[in-house]
Chains A and B, each alone.
Chain A
Amino acid sequence: MGQIVLENVTKSFGDTQVIPPLNLTIEDGEFAVFVGPSGCGKSTLLRIIAGLEDTTSGKVVIDGEDMTEISPSKRGLAMVFQTYALYPHMTVRKNIAFPMRMAGMSEDEQNKKIEAAAKSLNLTDYLDRKPGQLSGGQRQRVAIGRAIVRDPSAFLFDEPLSNLDAALRVGMRLEISEMHERLQTTMIYVTHDQIEAMTMANKIVVLRAGNIEQVGSPLDLYREPQNLFVAGFIGSPKMNFITGEEASKHGCHTMGVRPEHIEVSSSTGPWVGKVGVSEHLGSDTFFHIHDTGLADVLTVRAGGEVGFRAGDTVHLTPRDDVIHKFDAQGLRT
């Protein structure tokens, strides 16, 4: 079990309110990702759930039990930190054993769990090393191992991959997703990286300045962002926003078109512009189009083989069925 409910939770540091009243339910077994720009309160929210930060008001309910005043260790949650937070004076084995030793588990049982965790995380050969002798990826695995052996009702991840290099990050992302498939335990994952959010989550919670902007599945957020912030935050490259006459023609204040929903051609299309910078990814090419009269720059995603040069005049055709429309307040219409 691992249902987590936040009821009217607020948090202030001195006079600054970082989280205005907030309500959120994370169901048992869900993989929820808190995503938002830095300073949006996502880590604070996670720490409130963990019990490392007190709420100013409101309740944290875990599995139907009010845990607001309960100490972190008694909430049955495990946390993986961005900086790994391993105990540098203990070997990997002792690091993983630590929560079990604190819980008074028998040594046999501890060893059994350590072996199992080490095997699943490819750490068997490193059990007798100290954290200082491990690479970043291995350290993060140890931190995950230390979390797994506790059999927590939920895992909390605080930007666990931010300190890893790009290639490792993709690998670890997959490992964590597979771990979730296997364990089916609730996971709450904080990141500022929308790609991590999209690839891992069942449920994404988009936060800005402590407010929940939208909650939904990755595809819900991609297909139907409820406001301009979510529309701009989810999806890469960022959605193009067009205001003015063209938007009015479509009956809205701001229209949003994703780069992948614009077709680019040398001859036909209602919008005309000049190619600026092109980014070639091999599989795709991102063109930055200037002088369209619609927005400063429009980003267009085309196939890898499409080759326009800087300065070429191109014609653009947006796909009418996937245009997002927003009113003057920035809300979806």
Chain B
Amino acid sequence: MAIVAHSSKSGRVTRATFAWIVGLLFFFPIFWMILTSFKTDADAVKPEFLFFFTPTLDNYANMTENYDYWRFAKNSVITAVFATVFTLFVGIPCAYAMAFNPSRHTKDVLMWMLSTKMLPAAGVLYPMTFLTKNVLGIFDTHFLVILVLSLINLPIVVWMLFTYFKEIPKEIIEAGKMDGVDTWGEIKEILIPLAWGGIASTALLCFIFCWNEAYWTVRLTTTEAATLSKLIEGNRAPEGLFFGRLSAVSAAAVGPIIVLGWFCQKQLVQGLTFGAVK
């Protein structure tokens, strides 16, 4: 322990440098994208304007005027918010049941839930499209997007919540039972207040996943329920290489979530590393 705690200065510098390099590697595409979004489509592909160019807001103006950015943004907010709420609404009781009333099969159920994430999405693309378009008639609706986003995130949400709930001493829930609360009361009065931090970071992560989801939102929507992912995809330039415009759309799509993530980073880090060390 003493060796680890008392690391040498050069060791610290090496680690810090390494961390910076990794950080910059992750940040670079975002930086590049934002930079490109202020160039004209013509400048965007010219090497001589790599860092020095005349910035323009044309791409952003174009995006809001001609591409109806706000409609896509609204759809993204609606679907991500409702999908997150719905996922938690189902996930909390589910994780609660498994954490506090485990059966012999709880572990299997959890594994099974996770295994659904292993199914390649492309494998069910045809049935999903056929069913929603031709049988159920819910293709390109908010309902469908919310449902799909909820279902694909449910396993990971249940897993996360399960881990948090496991940290709550069973006796506290039992004390609640003795004190006269019913199952809903246990969840509302004891579980949610105690696991609030964990639930918040789960919700945040779920929201981010929903916001960034592209595979299904691109394929199961056309106009009505199309989200920002669809807007980016739509600007992928079938007519040519409009990098400036594409970058502006992308920057405007990821912007809100980056801002949200920035303000909630403490919650997020706690959420992702929770239970790792105990």
| Residues of A that sit less than 8 Å from B by CB | 50-52, 71-74, 77-79, 81-83, 85-89, 98-99, 102-103, 143, 146, 150
Q: Could you tell me the distance between the alpha carbons of A50 and B176 in the complex, rounded to whole angstroms?
A: 12
| Interface size classification for chain B | 10 to 19
Which residues of B in the span 219-254 have a Cβ within 8 Å of any Cβ on A? none
Chain B residues, Cβ within 8 Å of A74 = 180
Chain B residues within 8 Å of A79, by CB:
174-175, 178
Q: Are A73 and B190 neighbours in the complex by a CB distance under 8 Å?
A: no
Of chain B, the residue at the smallest CB distance from A73 is B180
Within 8 A of A (CB), among B179-215: 179-182, 185, 189-190, 193-194
Which of chain B's residues 140-198 have a Cβ closer than 8 Å to chain A? 169, 171-172, 174-182, 185, 189-190, 193-194
Would you call A85 and B175 a contact (CB within 8 A)? yes
Query: Which B residues fall within an 8 A CB radius of A?
Result: 169, 171-172, 174-182, 185, 189-190, 193-194
Given contacts A52-B178, A82-B171, A85-B169, 7 further A-B contacts (CB under 8 A): A51-B177, A81-B174, A87-B176, A87-B193, A89-B194, A102-B179, A103-B180
| Contacting pair B178 A50 (CB below 8 A) | yes
A78 touches B180 (CB 8 A): no
Name the B residues within 8 Å of A99 (CB-CB). 178-180
A77–B175 alpha-carbon span in the complex (Å): 11
On chain A, the residues within 8 Å of B193 by CB distance are: 87, 89
Pick the contact of A73 from B172, B181, B189, B194 — CB < 8 Å? B181
Q: Is the CB of B185 within 8 A of A102?
A: yes
9 contacts between A and B (CB under 8 A): A50-B178, A73-B178, A81-B175, A83-B169, A85-B171, A87-B194, A99-B178, A102-B180, A150-B179
Partner of B179, one of A51, A82, A89, A146: A146
Q: Report how far A305 CA is from B122 CA in the complex, Å.
A: 88
* Closest chain B CB from A18 CB (angstroms): 17
- Given A85-B169, A88-B194, CB of A102 within 8 Å of CB of B175: no
CB distance from A109 to the nearest CB of B (A): 15
Which residues of B sit under 8 angstroms from A52, Cβ to Cβ?
174, 177-178
Q: How far is the CB of B17 from chain A (nearest CB, A)?
A: 40
Closest beta carbon of chain B to A52's beta carbon, Å: 5
Cα-based distance from A88 to B172 in the complex (angstroms): 9
Alpha-carbon separation in the docked complex, A83 to B170 (Å): 10
List, in ascending order, chain B residues with CB within 8 A of A51's CB: 177
* Nearest chain B CB to A131 CB, angstrom units: 10
Q: Which residues of A contact B171 (CB under 8 A)?
A: 81-83, 85
B178 touches A78 (CB 8 A): yes
| A83 surroundings in chain B (CB, below 8 A) | 169, 171
Chain B residue with the shortest CB-CB distance to A90: B193
Q: Which of B171, B178, B180 has most chain A Cβ within 10 Å?
A: B178
Residues of A within 8 A of B179 (CB): 73, 98-99, 102, 146, 150
Q: Which 8 A-B pairs have the closest CB atoms?
A: A85-B171, A99-B179, A73-B180, A85-B175, A102-B180, A72-B177, A89-B193, A81-B171
Q: How far is the CA of A122 from the CA of B182 in the complex (A)?
A: 31
Residue of chain A at shortest CB distance from B183: A71
> CA separation between A85 and B178, bound complex, in Å?
11
Given A89-B193, A102-B185, are A71 and B172 also a contact pair (CB < 8 Å)?
no
Across the interface, name the chain B residue whose C-beta is closest to A50.
Answer: B178
A143 proximity list for chain B (CB < 8 A): 175
- Nearest CB in chain B: distance from A144 CB, A: 12
**Which residues from chain A contact B175 at a C-beta distance below 8 Å?**
79, 81, 85-87, 143, 146
Residues from chain A with a CB closer than 8 A to the CB of B189 are 98, 102
- Report the separation of the CA atoms of residues A35 and B172 in the bound assembly, to the nearest whole angstrom: 24
A72 touches B194 (CB 8 A): no
**Contact with B177, one of A71, A86, A88 (Cβ below 8 angstroms):** A71
Most buried by B among A51, A89, A143: A89
A73 to B169, CA, bound (A): 19
- Chain B residues within an 8 Å CB radius of A85: 169, 171-172, 174-175
**Most chain B CB neighbours (cut-off 10 Å) among A71, A74, A143:** A71
In the complex, residue of chain A having the shortest beta-carbon distance to the beta carbon of B172: A85
Inter-subunit contact A72/B178 (CB<8 Å): yes
Would A87 and B180 count as touching, CB distance under 8 A?
no
Residues of A contacting B180 in the complex (Cβ-Cβ under 8 angstroms): 73-74, 99, 102-103
Residues of B with C-beta under 8 A to A89: 193-194
Of B172, B181, B193, the most chain A CB neighbours within 10 A belong to B172
Q: Shortest Cβ distance from A16 into chain B, in angstroms?
A: 14
Output the residue of B174, B177, B194 with the most chain A CB within 10 A. Answer: B174
Bound complex: CA A78 to CA B177 (Å)? 10
Complex Cα spacing A42 to B193, Å:
32
Alpha-carbon distance A87/B169, docked complex (angstroms): 10
**CB neighbours of A50 from chain B (8 A):** 178
CB distance from B103 to the nearest CB of A (A): 12
Partner of A87, one of B172, B174, B177: B172
A238 and B270 CA atoms in complex are apart in Å by 52
User: What is the CB-to-nearest-CB distance from A94 to chain B, in angstroms, rounded to a whole number?
Assistant: 10
A52 to B182, CA, bound (A): 13
Q: Which residue of A lies closest to B178 (CB)?
A: A79
Q: Please give, as numbers and ranges, the residues of chain A lying within 8 Å of B178 by CB-CB distance.
A: 50, 52, 72-73, 77-79, 99
Q: Contacts of B172 on A, CB cut-off 8 Å?
A: 85-88
Instruction: Determine the chain B residues whose CB is within 8 A of the CB of A87 once the complex forms.
Output: 172, 175-176, 190, 193-194
